[in-house]
C-alpha cells in the first residue's frame, strides 16, 4: 500500500515535470502489458512467442529509462547541451519501424499464398 501512496504523491507533486510523468506512466503501462502477455503466452507453451514479449518488455524498460533524458536534453538546446544523447533517437525510430516491417512481412506472406 505504501508503494501506491508514494506513486500517487509523486504524480501529484508540482515539482515533477509533466513530461516525466507521461513517460513514466506510458512506460509503466507498456511494461505491465508486455509482462502479462509473456506470462499468458508462456502458459500456452509457446515459448518463442513469450520470448518476443519479454524482448518487448526489455526494449520498453530501456527506452523508458533513457527516453525522458533524451527528450529533456533535446528540448533544452542543441549542440553541446544535448550531452551525446541524440544517438538514442535511433532506438525510438527503430523499434516501431521494425514492428511495421514484421507486420508488413506477415501481411505479404498471407496474401501471396
Q: Is the pLDDT of residue 15 over 70?
A: no
Q: What is the pLDDT of residue 81?
A: 47
Mean pLDDT is highest, among 6-10, 72-76, 91-95, 99-103, for 99-103
pLDDT in tens, 37-59: 888 888 888 888 888 888 888 88
Total tally of structural domains belonging to the chain: 1
Does the pTM surpass 0.75? The reply is no
Whole-number Å distance between alpha carbons of 36 and 33? 5
Beta strands in the chain (DSSP E): none
Q: pLDDT digits over 24-36, tens only?
A: 777 788 888 888 8
Tell me which residue range forms the domain holding 50. 2-112
Question: Measured between alpha carbons, how far is 56 from 77 in angstroms, rounded to an integer?
Answer: 31
Amino acid at each position: 500500500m505504501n508503494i501506491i501512496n508514494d506513486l500517487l504523491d509523486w504524480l501529484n507533486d508540482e515539482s515533477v515535470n509533466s513530461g516525466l510523468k507521461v513517460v513514466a506512466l506510458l512506460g509503466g503501462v507498456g511494461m505491465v502489458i508486455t509482462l502479462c502477455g509473456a506470462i499468458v503466452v508462456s502458459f500456452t507453451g509457446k515459448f518463442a512467442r513469450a520470448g518476443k514479449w519479454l524482448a518487448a518488455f526489455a526494449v520498453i524498460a530501456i527506452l523508458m529509462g533513457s527516453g525522458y533524458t533524451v527528450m529533456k536534453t533535446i528540448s533544452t538546446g542543441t549542440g553541446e547541451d544535448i550531452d551525446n544523447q541524440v544517438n538514442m533517437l535511433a532506438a525510438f525510430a527503430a523499434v516501431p519501424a521494425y514492428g511495421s516491417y514484421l507486420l508488413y512481412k506477415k501481411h505479404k506472406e498471407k496474401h501471396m499464398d
